[in-house]
Every structure is written in C-alpha cells, then in structure tokens.
Amino acid sequence: MIEPVIQQLLASPYRKQIVIIVTLVTGLVVVWPAVDGYTEARARRQLASSKLADTNAEIGKMPRHAELFQKKQIELAALTQRTVQEDSAQRLRNDLVQLVRKAGCTMRRIRLGEATRRDWMENDSPVTGADLADPGRPTPFQLVSRQLSLSITGQMPKLHQFLAEMHKIDKTMHTRTISLERAGRSKGIATLDLDMVLFDFEKKAAS
C-alpha cells in the first residue's frame, strides 16, 4: 500500500510542493503538543505568580491588621471596665455609700435592683431602646440593666460635692430621675433622690 503511494509521489511533477507540505504537517504534528504544554505551563506560572502577589499583598497588610486588632482590643478592654457587671454593681453601691459619707451627707436609703435582660439589636440604644421603625438585625448580645436608687440628705454645698464626685465615676449608667426638695423645716438641708440604671452586655448563650 505504501510503495505505490511513494512511487506516485516521486513521479508527480508537484513532488517538491508535496514534500514541503508533508514536512510542514509532520512538523506541526510534533510541535503542537509542545506548544500546548508550553502554554499550559505558562498559564500555571502566571496563576502561581498571581497567587504569590496576592499573598505578598496580604502579608504587607498584616502589620496594619495587627495594629487595628490591638486598637480594638484596647477599646474593648476600656468598654469592659466601664460596664457594670454583677460584682462591680455591688462595688459601685459601696462606693456611693462612701461618697455620701465623704461629702458629709446622710444616707436615707440605697437599693440595687435585680438584673433584667433583653436582646440587643443593631440600631439599639440602652437609654431609648431600639428604633421601632428600623431596629436592625439581632446581635449575639443581650443588654443587662440594673436599677439603682438612693436618697440622701445634707446641706446644699455638700449635696453638690457628692454630685460632683459621683460624676467622676466612669461607668455605663444613666440617671433616669433626679429630685431635690427641702428637708422639712431644717434651714439649708435638702433631700436628694436619684434613680439610675446601670448597664452591661452579655453574649447570648448558645442555643
């Protein structure tokens, strides 16, 4: 089968052109797989280079991320110190008793209520509550509230001194009501009533 074809090829007046074509086709048959392999290898190299560049970019961002993380940790620690948890609520109560004595006033009563909890929403406020029109999505936290009320008597300058010292207490608390009245017939003696709310945040227990 092959010999007649070769004889026809040698006898053909176009044998030079045919030889050139056959040579080119043979070369393409050999070269195309190599080109495909080179293209694939080049694509893999480009992909690896791209991933390496992305990795280097992320590594370059690590100091900034670490700095931001440290900053957030400091802010969280400061906020945690300001919140009034169960043990710190008792300490705050005792501190207020000491401030009353230090100011030269008289404690009539002081009461620390039980903690109440509610879900904390994205657009929430511990004072006014969540916006009913747009409360936002639920968060993994609960708002913990404790009511603290006290009533003291003393001369006006001493009551003012007590309020000034209490204002220095850096805790998450809100004064709901405050009233100042004359204490009976005593001249210069008044009664100060305060109704406050102490705040804390707790993470919800896993359900």
189-203 vs 106-112, strand pairing mode: unpaired
> Is 86-203 assigned to CATH 1.10.3470.10?
no
Of all residues in the chain, what percent carry a pLDDT higher than 90? 34
**Tokens (6 digits) for 196:** 């406050």
Own/partner long-range contacts of 158-162 (Cβ < 8 Å, ≥24 apart): 158/103, 158/104, 158/105, 159/103, 159/105, 159/190, 159/192, 161/103, 161/104, 162/99, 162/100, 162/103, 162/105, 162/192
Where does the pLDDT of residue 207 fall: very low under 50, low under 70, confident under 90, or very high at 90 and above?
Answer: low
pLDDT at 129 over 80: no
pLDDT at 109 over 60: yes
- The pLDDT value recorded for residue 126 is 84
Give the pLDDT confidence of 70-91 residue by residue, as tens digits.
Answer: 665 665 566 667 888 888 999 9
Q: Are 186 and 153 in contact (CB under 8 A)?
A: no
State how far the Cα of 181 lies from the Cα of 164, in Å rounded to an integer: 18
> Residue 97: which of 112, 82, 116 has the closest Cα?
112
**Tokens (6 digits) for 184:** 């009976």
State how far the Cα of 169 lies from the Cα of 171, in Å rounded to an integer: 6
Listing DSSP states for 122-142 in one string gives TT--TTT---SS----EEEEE
